[in-house]
Every structure is written in structure tokens, then in C-alpha cells.
Chains A and B, each alone.
Chain A
Amino acid sequence: MALQGISVVELSGLAPGPFCAMVLADFGARVVRVDRPGSRYDVSRLGRGKRSLVLDLKQPRGAAVLRRLCERSDVLLEPFRRGVMEKLQLGPEILQRENPRLIYARLSGFGQSGSFSRLAGHDINYLALSGVLSKIGRSGENPYAPLNLLADFAGGGLMCALGIIMALFDRTRTGKGQVIDANMVEGAAYLSSFLWKTQKSSLWEAPRGQNMLDGGAPFYTTYRTADGEFMAVGAIEPQFYELLIKGLGLKSDELPNQMSMDDWPEMKKKFADVFAKKTKAEWCQIFDGADACVTPVLTLEEVVHHDHHKERGSFITSEEQDVSPRPAPLLLNTPAIPSFKRDPFVGEHTEEILEEFGFSREEIYQLNSDKIIESNKVKASL
């Protein structure tokens, strides 16, 4: 796998960090997740391929354990607000002095500097501050955050993973690690560069929700079917739009011009009426195999049964019969090999990991009895 031999220490947090580390694990890195004492389970459920160690970083001896782990690791991933690691005496100057090859990845909401950098926040706040949220949402409604996908995952976890791999690549030439300031506000903005770059174009001329790509166009939106399901229409180019009209059983000469924005609200109603007359399956019969850019809106459950996904193996099933997406993208020579085992229990591998990192049995015993670490091996074997 692409990241074979790379070792990562992930300090446990919510969504973005776990996703970033999961991507690294999927592509071959050995990921150790450091959980807090008392944490019962992984809220984000993104523990695939990782091992878990419970360590009290607030204790100086706990911080010392982490420093020893980082001496022998390639990547440290920390998800805290500005200043937290420094307060624990675990800032980059300290850790990189001990290991100049360490890639110190800091994945936060607002970044390592700036007036908001010490504040709490969640995806919607980062997306709001990035400018991107202001462009998303239907006409006449408030801006709408698409779950926590854009800031937590795209602008956060995925962007940070990109930075980590770039730093690993750079290190093959320089021999040195570096600090990465990956934050969700800037990540979401950079991801959405297209919006700034096309701001002066006609793409965003109308108020929010009335443009082609944000819900205004009848040929770029979703429609409800007779059985309460949905179809997605994305027929922008004239030749695809023709096929859409044909598939709907309409006649183009009886309709206004495709790009006549004044007619869009009326056209949406017209299309909606037509879509409402047939079921999703019937529409799929009509449009599958056609270049009309009409596709079913599949549910999370339906995807596994769809021909296209079955043929490609796009979804994987774990030993526990849980379905999730196969890692992307596909690298044909060194594909990701995601673990099929269940996610680790909190503290399941504490002792095993410390032994691997050169801690003696006496040290481990002492750390355990002094409550610097926790080992939950017993629970795991139940």
C-alpha cells in the first residue's frame, strides 16, 4: 500500500481528525489513536484500521509517554484549539527537537492564529466564516449547511490528509518533517475556490438559490417521483437537455428556451408534474443508459444493490456486516486495503503499543497503576 511503513499518532477528537487518520490507515499507515482516560467509545465511528491506547496527556508522565511515541513516529495529528498542545508541553518545537523528521499536523477549526483561534466551533461555524455557506441554500430560505461534510470532512480531514502526504513526499527529499496548519475555515474556502474565481461571471448573477448550480435551474435539481423517491437532473449541455426533454415526453418547441431564467420557476413546476407521474424505477428504466444526465437519488442502503456499484465493488462490508464506501481514489498498483475488522475498543491496545515502542513491562505496570494509562484488554476479549 502507498503508505506502508508510515506510523501515525492520532490524538483523539471528533470527526475531522478521525477521518484524516482513517484515510491514512486505509492506505497503509499504522495508526495509533490516543484516547483520553474515561472515554468510553469512539463517537465518530471512524476507527477503521487503528489501534487504541488510553493515555492521560494532562499528567507530565503521560505527556512524556507521548513524546516517546512521537520520537519513533512519522506523523502526529492533533485536533485541538490553538495553545492546547503548548500548554501540555507537547508543542512542535519540543517534539520536533526530539524527532526532526516528525510531521506535526494540526487540524483545527479556525487555525493556529487569528482572532477566532481560541474559540469553540463546529462545521457550520467554520463554513460560515469561510464565506462558502452564504452561497448555499434555496431561494427565500436561510443558508443551509450540507450536514458536516464541507468543513469537517472535505475542508478539514481530507485537506489535512493531503497536506500530510505532501509533507511525507517533501520529506523524501529534505529528510525533514514540518508543521501543518490545517484548518477547516481555510480548507473549506480553498476547496471552493471556484466560487471566488467565477464570482464575476454570469454563473452567480441571480440571488442565492436562483442560479444554475444552486437550485434555480429546472435542469439542475432533484424531483420527487410517484413513489415518494427522488431523481437527480443535471442536464446542462444542450444535447443532454434534449435527451432530458425527450425522456420526459415533452416537446422542446413547446417549451421556452433552456437558459431563459425568467421561465425557470414555471419549468420546474412542469418538470415536477411529469416526474411525479412515474416511480423511481420507471424513470430509471427510461433514463438508464441515456446521456440525459438523469440519475436516481440512491439512499445509503440502496447503493449496495445498484448495478453500477455492484460491478465496481464501490462499497465494502466489514466482518460485522457494516457497509461503508471503499476508500477512494483507486490506485491500481498500491490500492488501499481497508481493515475489515471491527473498530478498536478504547484502550484495547495500550500495552501492546507501549511494548512495541520500547516500554518495559515494569514501566507499563507502573504507568497503569499510577493511572497514566488505561488498558481495556479484558473488555475486548468478552
Chain B
Amino acid sequence: MIHSLFLINHSGDIFLEKHWKSVVSRSVCDYFFEARENAGSPENVPPVLQTPHHYLISIYRDRLFFLSAVQTEVPPLFVIEFLHRVAEMFQDYFGECSEVVIKDNVVIVYELLEEMLDNGFPLATESNVLKEMIRPPTILRSVVNTLTGGSYIGETLPMGQLSTIPWRRSGVKYTNNEAYFDVIEEIDAILDKSGTTVFAEIQGVIEACIKLSGMPDLTLSFMNPRLLDDVSFHPCVRFKRWESERVLSFIPPDGNFTLMTYHVSTQNLVAIPVYVKQSIGFFESGSCGRLDLTVGPKQTMGKTVEGMMITIHMPTAVLSANLTATQGSHTYNPITKVLVWDVGKLNPQKLPNLRGSLSLQSGAPKPEENPSLNINLKIQQLAISGIKVNRLDMYGEKYKPFKGVKYVTKAGRFQVRT
């Protein structure tokens, strides 16, 4: 399956390589570099490339390329999904996934990769299992280790790998037993020029942070599970229970994990929490244009909209922007041609407004198209779909855990066309 892995940074240096079978020369990456050059932006590099002897499957993440070489037929998603899992594991271990951090922890990274794949086939990809074998670095431990020459490899053997619930380690102990659930909903929408909804849907995810001792068996139920149209679960969730009773029954992994993601059926009309009045135009002559944006709350269920931010990818001809905002700050990056207006909290009494002029490259023709607006926002304590967690029950352990649920609504891929 996966033959070799190369980590490549933004400027095209291979800074880590790992081979699970015979060594594949790093010159194989030259094909990739060629494709990278042709593609323009890194997002446009084809994830699968064919070379005379190998197939290169790559992902681009956190400004790094994870490039794997395979020699025979393999489902491409298999490799892609695995590479993302690797990146997530780095994130999990080191707090971020960047070249510097990987270089600093190269031995741990190498050990991790060694454990995650055996002969190119995934072996242990559960973070709980891996953490038993290879301890993640902490500041304290790295200090202690440098002083004593101590180790990061776990002394104990990973029993989790052997159990039938590999996602949970045994013998978990906490003094405060807590279980928190964040219900995060994202609105994906496309609005057209006039503000009417072209397409809108709600995607939700339940992130859990479970710190419970022993082997708790949890059951989470919803007030209105009928809202959920399509779901995907962490492997710990018992699917049969969901099918029959519409409750989530699971023995949770220890720590943070994504319990489920869901999609709210599209029959329900999606409440769009904000509206944008916009007018962006370029003049036929004079190499300039004007911009006028006003945002206001629409259907917010009585909550305040926070973290409002509008990002606009301007046409390449736009050189600079001379704008004034009644609220928040704005920046225009003339290199990436991105205008960002950070509005902050939305005040329904005094609607924030951004207006001013755009100056264009002299001589350039008037841009044909208007840029679309990408909107970010956040509403605390509201799940826009109306989903509600009913109750959480725990079986199998005797203590009383502390339970909490938090709701947040965010804008996902929220775009306004102009």
C-alpha cells in the first residue's frame, strides 16, 4: 500500500522522508514539483499523480505537502484519509502541524509513523493507543528529559491495541469527572446579489471533551432527533442503538474527540442570521471603483451575532482600497488581493458600514466580475437548527459526572455573490 512518505514544505524542500518498504529515491518528488509549478496555487495540485514507476498521492495541509508514493492499486481515498489522520496526529501531539515543530520532534514523528503503518498498511491510528506507546512531549517532560536523558517512549506496553475498544485506554482516573459536549452548527449558504438564498444548509458537529474515570457507558439523547438527516459517527457510537432508538450510546475515548457530524434536512428552511447590503462597482474610466457594505442582523433568534468578519477576494486589478468603517477594522492586502473587514459584534441599533473607493491599476480594463463576499460569524448559545440535547446518562460507573452542553452557531461556507 503506502510505500513512502515525504513531507515537503512550502518552498519545496523535502524535510522528512520515511519508507515502509524498500527505499524510494526522493527524486520521485520531482514529478510532484513539476505539477506544483504548473498548478499555480498549492490547492490546485492534483492529489493524484502518475509517474513512470509510482503513483504520488498528496495532500496539502497547514502549508505542508504530505506526499506518499504508492506502487500498486490502492483506493486513493484510503491514502488521503490516512495522510490527514497523520496530520491530525501531529496536531494532537504537538499542538500544531508545522515544519518547525516536526523538525524539532523528528524522532517522535518518526516513531509515530513507524507505529501508524506496518508495511504500508495502517496499524494503530487511534491517538489513545499511540499515546500509550509514545508519549507526547510536554514542556515539563522535555525539561526533565534534557536533564535526565529520560524518554518519551511509554514504559508500558499498549494494551489498548489488544482490546475490542481500541479508542479508549484502560485505567483512566480523574478526580473531577466531567463530560462536555459542544454542539457546533455551521451554515453553508450561497446568497445571490439580491440577498435571496440560492442554497443553504446546516452542518453540525458535536465535539466532546470527556474526562471520566473507568469505563463509562454514556447515552446521549436529543429532544428532536428527527431534525437530523444524515449523520456520521465516531467508531465508538453503537449504530444499532441509533437506528432503533435515535440515541447515541457509546463508550467514549478519553479526552477530546468528534462524536458525530450531522446534516440537517434541507426541507426545513434555514434561517440566515445576517443580511448584507452591498454595492461594489468599477467605473468605466478613471481606474477606480467604489465599495459600500452594510451588514445587519436578520434571523438571530434574539441572540447577538459576534465575530462578524467579511473577506473579499478582489480582482487582480485592484491596487489599493481607501475605505472607512463605522465599526471594526479593515485591511487590504495588495499582494493576495484580499480585503478583510473585521466587524466584531453586530449592533442592531447602529448597523456597521464600510465604504470608500478602490483604486485600480491604471490602464487595466474594468474588471468584468464582482468579487463575492465570504462571511464569518458566530452566535453563542444557539443551535440554529433548533436541535437540543435532552439528557446524558451514564452506566457502568458509580460516580456522578459533571455534564455540560454548549451550543454555537457559525458561518461555514457562507458566500454572498455580488
Our verdict on whether A and B bind, yes or no, reads no
Q: Which residues of A contact B (CB under 8 A)?
A: none
